[in-house]
Structure 1
Amino acid sequence: MKIILNKFRNFNHLMSNKMHYLIGSSILRIFIGLHIMFTYLIHFAQRNEIWGPNAFYSFEKCFEAYGFTSLYLFSDSQLYFEFIFISGIVINTLYILGYKMRVVSIINFIWVWSLYQRNPYIHDGGNNILILIMLYLIFASLGEFFTIHTESRSKEKSKVTIIIHNFSVMISMIQVSLLYLFAGFNKAQGKMWTHGTALYYILQVDEYSINKGFTNLVIDNPYLLVLGTYSALFLQLMFPILVWNRYFKIPLLIGSILFHLSIIIFMGLLQFGVIMIALDLLFITDTEYRKLYKFLSRIYDKFKLKFRNIFNQKLRNPTI
């Protein structure tokens, strides 16, 4: 009983003493904003055909299915649609810049939810986890780093604010862990995954094969196919366990990032891959980010000094 009480006290101290994962949550905010901005801009010329009053998923059918659950369904006026769509771009820009996040994060969530509700047939799966994480992060402090609004960091945070932020981030991390776990369980039930051949069949699908050169390199190599299949399965099943271990976390996250980069390169699922990489980056602590920054700064300084010496040497002796 005493051990349980001590664990509880330690957890309570951890969650209420100071805010954690501020850098990771700020990076995630930027990635989420860029993900949404990509959706807005890549389809800007076709916005009327996708989300407008006369879209291929008609206003009437969408309203019948979802009712007033989207701002785009409050009116079938073209002018109203343009206002909602353009204002969504403006709001999301403020979100990326980290301006007045307590208010902007709520408004941006409403606008993005409305966009997804208006036409759910054009997404690649990344939107499902994104909208959940956006909801959780409404309660987090997303404007502490990489923001044009610098007031918040100078203010002393109340205990309630600290606890709410930490729980918001923790719930987001648990959600990501569960996503990996159930994705792994789902794969483990399929014979193609347990036999090590799933990757071969996935890469045969034309819709998910944007680069035949890269794809053929993998398809023609049975060792890469088996390694890719089993490593994906192992990664997803073990992620919820190993990501909390300080020794295995960083190698696991590197593996996960490489896994999702391969999804982007081989399958063309850009938005899904990007948001999953951003969610992986959330698990890195502020201390680890600072250590990484110092490490990269030292490498940069060494290269800078080396090239400066070479340049100065050439100036002194032009014949070299």
Structure 2
Amino acid sequence: MPSGPAAGAATPVETVAARAVRIASATALGPYQSAVVRIGFSATWLFFLLRELPNRRELYGPDGPWGWDLGSRLIAGNHAFTSLLWTDSTIWFEIVYALALVSSALLMLGWRTRTTSVVFMIGVLSLQNRSVFVGDGGDNVIHLMAIYLVFTRCAQVWSLDARRAARGAARDRIGPVLWAVCGLALLAGTWRTSAAGVSGGGEWWLWVVFWGMWAVQGLWWATGRFAAAESRALLDVLGNLVHNAAMVVIMAEVCLIYATAGWYKIQGTRWQDGTALFYPLKLDYFSPWPELSSLLGASGVIVMLLTYGTVMVQVAFPFTLFNRRVKNVLLVAMMLEHAGIAVLLGLPFFSLAMIAADAVFLPTSFLRRVGAVAGRAWRGVRLPEQRRERDGASERPRTLVG
């Protein structure tokens, strides 16, 4: 008799693979991490747009040095998407900028995230692709994460959507209206870029993706409203798979950023002799606190520790994902590093973008504790107000009616 496994019996590898597929399809993993990424990137972009509100026309609008003709020639060559080149109207620019602001705020709050995440992505692509030479490395990270967030279920916790789902709201009237408005806007955009032949519409397949997202959103609502439970369960499985794949891509993107940055630093001499950190500390443009920058730059030991520490942390981080404790230590070190960049070099939005990207690796237990503390603080603020309202109601004179 053969001593091997019985015919048809699953091997350990097949068992592990089947379990992984079952978990990935049954659950949208990382709900707290995806919520932090959503809040972090939408808040970073919102604060950036608010800070540059007085300078918006010089950065992305008709008053900038990167004029309409230069922008049109660039977009005609790289086929990028930007709605700001559909027309040179100042009113249209203000509308797009306002939509970018509103969508960032709504996405941060988690209101109708399936729709607002797409509008948020369109706003990011429209503004950044209009003037590609404006910004820093943080813009590139926001550019990528805005695309990835569209495919995540990032409103499972800490959002108005989660609050509405927990309340078990009855018939949804806002969703169909919002879906119809988005369909009309999508139809107008498709006509503008195809029939009118204006630049800034991107490749044709991009509009296929937009229409596909719009159709999936309608199918999702119709299935939940009219179809059987099995059909909705199938859509949930597909949504979980897409979400989990997008979360893996986000984590891989963060690891790729740090790995490439660290290995490129190793190959250069400026990070070996410390001049890559020393020179920026002496530049007025990167010295919001000149006294502090001079103090750090005057110490060769501090410059050496910061230089070699930065390189070692960036190179080692992707390999520490297999050890939770070491990963958490390096994660704190990288967040502190970006906080230092924000203070010393005056790059707050780059640092906020990178900290938001790092947050995808934060432990779930830590995020739950942070949420619990924030919830208790919020209830502590609300309870005195509710108590005052109750006391005020009890002091009102009662009438005979009611």
Question: TM-score, normalized by length of structure 2?
Answer: 0.69
Q: Does 1:91 align with 2:103?
A: yes
User: For the structure 1 residues 198 and 49, does the alpha-carbon distance in structure 2 shift closer, same or farther, using more than 3 Å as the test?
Assistant: closer
2:245 pairs with one of 167, 178, 181: 167
1:62 pairs with one of 71, 77, 94: 71
Report the equivalent of 1:286.
364
Say whether the 8 Å CA contact 2:284–2:290 is kept in structure 1.
Answer: no
Q: Does 1:151 align with 2:161?
A: no
Structure 1 residue 3 displacement after superposition:
5.1
1:234 pairs with one of 305, 308, 312: 312
For residues 115-167 of structure 1, the C-alpha deviation after alignment (integer angstroms, 9 at most, x for no partner) is 00111222021011111111111111111222222235679972222221111
Say whether the 8 Å CA contact 1:70–1:118 is kept in structure 2.
Answer: yes
Moved more, 247-256 or 147-156: 147-156
Distance in 1, Cα, partners of 2:165 & 2:318: 32
Q: Partner amino acid for 1:52?
A: G
Distance in 2, Cα, partners of 1:201 & 1:59: 36
Q: Partner amino acid for 1:205?
A: L
Q: How many residues end up aligned between the 2 structures?
A: 298
1:245-260 paired onto structure 2 within 5 Å: 245-260=323-338
Report the equivalent of 1:318.
none
1:79 pairs with one of 67, 78, 91: 91
1:223 pairs with one of 296, 301, 311: 301
Say whether the 8 Å CA contact 2:258–2:315 is kept in structure 1.
Answer: yes
Say whether the 8 Å CA contact 1:91–1:107 is kept in structure 2.
Answer: yes
Q: Secondary structure at the match of 1:185?
A: helix
Task: Flag structure 2 segments of 5+ consecutive residues without an equivalent.
Answer: 1-9, 169-223, 225-231, 378-402
Q: Partner amino acid for 2:103?
A: I
Q: Does 1:8 align with 2:17?
A: yes
Q: Which has the larger radius of gyration?
A: 2
Say whether the 8 Å CA contact 2:107–2:117 is kept in structure 1.
Answer: yes
Say whether the 8 Å CA contact 1:144–1:152 is kept in structure 2.
Answer: no
Say whether the 8 Å CA contact 2:258–2:314 is kept in structure 1.
Answer: yes
Q: Secondary structure at the match of 2:325?
A: coil
Distance in 1, Cα, partners of 2:258 & 2:244: 21
User: For the structure 1 residues 11 and 197, does the alpha-carbon distance in structure 2 shift closer, same or farther, using more than 3 Å as the test?
Assistant: farther
Say whether the 8 Å CA contact 1:21–1:285 is kept in structure 2.
Answer: no
Structure 1 residue 243 displacement after superposition:
3.0
Report the equivalent of 2:62.
53
Question: TM-score, normalized by length of structure 1?
Answer: 0.85
Structure 1 residue 254 displacement after superposition:
0.5
Q: Secondary structure at the match of 1:187?
A: helix
1:114-129 paired onto structure 2 within 5 Å: 114-129=126-141
Distance in 1, Cα, partners of 2:47 & 2:131: 16
1:139 pairs with one of 151, 169, 180: 151
Moved more, 207-216 or 257-266: 207-216
**% identical equivalent positions:** 26
For residues 1-47 of structure 1, the C-alpha deviation after alignment (integer angstroms, 9 at most, x for no partner) is 94543442343244234222211211221121121112221121222
Q: How much is the aligned-residue C-alpha RMSD, in angstroms?
A: 2.4
1:168-317 paired onto structure 2 within 5 Å: 168-291=246-369
Structure 1 residue 292 displacement after superposition:
5.5
Structure 1 residue 185 displacement after superposition:
0.8
Say whether the 8 Å CA contact 1:243–1:253 is kept in structure 2.
Answer: no
Distance in 2, Cα, partners of 1:134 & 1:18: 23
Distance in 2, Cα, partners of 1:72 & 1:108: 15
Q: Partner amino acid for 2:29?
A: H
Say whether the 8 Å CA contact 1:20–1:285 is kept in structure 2.
Answer: no
Say whether the 8 Å CA contact 1:143–1:152 is kept in structure 2.
Answer: no
1:108 pairs with one of 115, 120, 135: 120
Distance in 2, Cα, partners of 1:74 & 1:168: 30
User: For the structure 1 residues 141 and 45, does the alpha-carbon distance in structure 2 shift closer, same or farther, using more than 3 Å as the test?
Assistant: same
Say whether the 8 Å CA contact 2:281–2:345 is kept in structure 1.
Answer: yes
